[in-house]
Amino acid sequence: MLAILASLVIAGAGVAALVAVAATWHGQLGAIRQLLADARALEQADALDLDRAFLARLIDSPLATAAPATPALPPLVRSTVRRPSPRPAAGVVTKATRRAAA
């Protein structure tokens, strides 16, 4: 009896999930249609090559000519290594005994 009840509960949950998916699909049908229409419009624009023609027009414009580049500076060579902080002396070892907190 318990197995039949569990099976009915699982089947009911599955039906409820399908109803929720169908309700969401029905509620968003207008947005889905708009998305598909936008995808078709983008495919047609790509087929007509409008975006590539626009980019070619931008590249051919006189404003797109680059200014001459400045000559590169020679690299700086340093003979010494600079460290951000001095190193401690090699012979100094600090071992302090610690007291327990009161």
Per-residue pLDDT tens digits for 34-68: 989 988 888 887 766 666 777 777 777 665 556 66
Model pTM score: 0.34
Range of the domain at 50: 2-61
Intra-chain end-to-end CA distance of the chain, in Å: 67
Distance (Å, rounded) from C-alpha 37 to C-alpha 43?
Answer: 10
Is position 32 within any domain?
yes
Distance (Å, rounded) from C-alpha 6 to C-alpha 12?
Answer: 10
Is pLDDT at 21 greater than 90 in this prediction?
yes
Is position 28 within any domain?
yes
For the chain, the domain total comes to: 1
Q: What is the pLDDT of residue 53?
A: 72
Residue with tokens 């047609």: 44
Range among 11-20, 50-59, 62-71, 77-86 with highest mean pLDDT value:
11-20
Is pLDDT at 17 greater than 90 in this prediction?
yes
Taking residues 1-10, what's their average pLDDT? Answer: 94
Is position 14 within any domain?
yes
| Distances in whole angstroms, Cα of residue 79 to Cα of each of 76, 82 | 10, 10
